[in-house]
Chains A and B, each alone.
Chain A
Amino acid sequence: QQQVKQSPQSLIVQKGGISIINCAYENTAFDYFPWYQQFPGKGPALLIAIRPDVSEKKEGRFTISFNKSAKQFSLHIMDSQPGDSATYFCAAIKRKAGNMLTFGGGTRLMVKP
């Protein structure tokens, strides 16, 4: 059973547009939600993360929106650029169970020039 569901699997956005990736989780024991960005042939890199007591966190063009009651969170990439083309993974962590990442399935984003 997939504990963190991510959609869409792939996304094509025009340069300057907004990219939106959604994730939903089942287990309310999750208490930290990072997003990772992975370029082809590279390891994932931490992009931004949020705690469940915060509804939104913004870092530059990247924003996480968090809806605790719906057990959903999303990544918004404003003014998307071709250099943002990568695979994005949402993840969830249960701090009390150790720093283990439960990943979503990933979204392959392509930003067209």
Chain B
Amino acid sequence: DAMVIQNPRYQVTQFGKPVTLSCSQTLNHNVMYWYQQKSSQAPKLLFHYYDKDFNNEADTPDNFQSRRPNTSFCFLDIRSPGLGDAAMYLCATSKTLRERKDTQYFGPGTRLTVL
């Protein structure tokens, strides 16, 4: 089945130790998004890629970086995780940026714990 896959599902890291979260998709979608979702809150968009074009949200901390080496894969790098970065990280995809009825498909998320 076509889908959005996130690995790992659970990640534990230490304060200040770099961590990388992975997302892959078999939907062949052009756009990939990364969201941060804290407990009992709505997902918050960090950035997105349209093909290789990277778009950062204005309030995304510099501590968060992303890479998209090809259409199928996208990575979220947290350079120096703080306790406040503990959250669920969601990857999503969409075929385009502007077509009607073309909304986003989410992966299952990676739960990040910072010790």
Contacts and interface: CB of A to CB of B under 8 A. Distances in A.
B98 A95 contact: yes
Interface in B62-108: 90-92, 94, 96-108
Interface string B1-44: 00010100000000000000000000000010000000011110
Sort chain A's interface into a size bin: 20 to 34
A interface SS class: mixed
A58 interface: no
B108 A98 contact: no
Contacts of A108: 40
Given A34-B103, A99-B31, A104 B42 contact: yes
Contacts of A49: 101, 103
Given A89-B42, A105-B41, A98 B98 contact: yes
Given A43-B90, A43-B106, A43-B109, A96 B43 contact: no
Interface string A101-113: 1011110100000
Interface of B: 4, 6, 31, 40-43, 45, 48, 90-92, 94, 96-109, 111
